[in-house]
């Protein structure tokens, strides 16, 4: 459902919204490199009373670590401003539930904060929670498979098949989930974009009123947010080219060079 908001004449695109959900890689930075102008643009957007929260499929970093990275780029942020797919996964767990975890601190810490009990014994697990884990072993897959075959809830932080490294694409969490799906015959509940759960967790951190997703990927950021009825801004500072954007289905509400484009005047028929 789209809420409506009347921006005053001459208002910027950002001011047509009560809040913005920003993707990180390709929007705020590229790998470890800042995208020029992002810090100043976000400061101007916040100064105009538009709330900002950051949402990432990255499951391996804690919100505090992501916020630290943002501050290094000159963007004021605390862990409360950041929702990772791991945090949204933890919000699906009931306090006291026993979780067998494949994942790093980025997943373990939010689960503990949620009040989950982290266990190693597959016989006692209520939930198997799976996120990117660079220390993954066959023994981890064995225990998770046994727990899933006993009926534990199967949560996956994100479906990304691969993860970019300087030498190329390496197995991402989707690859781990595929191994467990093959071994257990079970399908995971996926939390990250383009599925709704991470978007909804980010939405819950913003004030009432219309919100827009700002991302660099059509298949996750735009497709997922549009499915929830949100407006979308595709920025060309990441993986998507202008040619690809022109062919997108559904088309983004806005196609912008970068986050600074959110400060351009809203079109008179701003579609909120």
Per the annotation, the verdict on 25 as an active-site residue is: yes
CB of 153 to Mg ion, least distance (A): 28
88: tokens are 């949204």
Rounded to an integer, what distance in angstroms lies between the CA atom of residue 16 and that of residue 4? 9
CB of 221 to Mg ion, least distance (A): 7
Which residue is closest to Mg ion by CB? Answer: 26
Is 54 within 8 Å of 22 (Cβ atoms)?
Answer: yes
Rounded to an integer, what distance in angstroms lies between the CA atom of residue 14 and that of residue 218? 20
CB of 79 to Mg ion, least distance (A): 20
x-marked contacts with Mg ion along 235-254 as a string, rule CB under 5 A: --------------------
Given 26, 156, 252, 260, the residue binding Mg ion (CB under 5 A) = 26
33 forms beta bridges with 30
By CB under 5 A, what part of segment 151-190 binds Mg ion?
none
Identity of the residue, 26 or 156, whose beta carbon is nearer to Mg ion in the bound complex:
26
- If binding is defined by CB under 5 A, does position 216 make contact with Mg ion? yes
Per the annotation, the verdict on 23 as an active-site residue is: yes
Kindly tell me the sign of the dihedral angle through the C-alpha atoms of 246, 250, 251, 252.
negative
Rounded to an integer, what distance in angstroms lies between the CA atom of residue 167 and that of residue 112? 34
Q: Which of 25, 81, 126, 216 is catalytic?
A: 25
Rounded to an integer, what distance in angstroms lies between the CA atom of residue 187 and that of residue 198? 18
Name the one range near Mg ion by CB under 5 A: 83-91, 181-189, 209-217, 225-233. 209-217
Q: What are phi and psi of 21, to 5 degrees?
A: -105, 120
Question: What positions carry a catalytic annotation?
Answer: 23, 25
For Mg ion, the binding residues (CB under 5 A) are: 23, 25-26, 216
């Amino acid at each position: 459902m789209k809420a409506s908001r009347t921006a005053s004449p001459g208002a910027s695109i950002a001011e047509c919204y009560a809040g913005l959900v920003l993707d990180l890689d390709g929007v705020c930075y590229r790998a470890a490199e800042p995208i020029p102008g992002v810090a100043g643009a976000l400061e101007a957007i916040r100064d105009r009373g538009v709330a900002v929260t950051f949402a990432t499929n990255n499951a391996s970093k804690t919100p505090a670590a992501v916020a630290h990275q943002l501050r290094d780029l000159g963007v004021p942020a605390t862990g409360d401003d950041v929702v990772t797919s791991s945090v949204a996964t933890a919000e699906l767990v009931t306090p006291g539930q026993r979780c067998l975890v494949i994942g790093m601190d980025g997943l373990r810490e939010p689960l503990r904060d949620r009040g989950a009990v982290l266990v190693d014994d597959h016989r006692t697990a209520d939930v198997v929670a799976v996120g990117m884990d660079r220390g993954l072993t066959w023994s981890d897959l064995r225990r998770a498979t046994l727990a899933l075959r006993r009926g534990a809830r199967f949560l996956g932080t994100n479906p990304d098949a691969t993860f970019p490294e300087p030498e190329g694409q390496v197995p991402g969490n989707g690859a781990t989930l595929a191994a467990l799906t093959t071994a257990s015959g079970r399908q995971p509940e996926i939390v990250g974009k383009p599925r709704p759960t991470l978007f909804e967790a980010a939405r819950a951190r913003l004030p009432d009123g219309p919100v827009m997703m700002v991302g660099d990927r059509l298949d996750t950021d735009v497709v997922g947010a549009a499915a929830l009825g949100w407006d979308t801004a595709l920025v060309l500072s990441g993986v998507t080219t202008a040619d690809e954007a022109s062919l997108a289905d559904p088309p983004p509400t806005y196609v912008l060079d970068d986050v600074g484009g959110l400060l351009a005047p809203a079109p008179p028929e701003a579609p909120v």
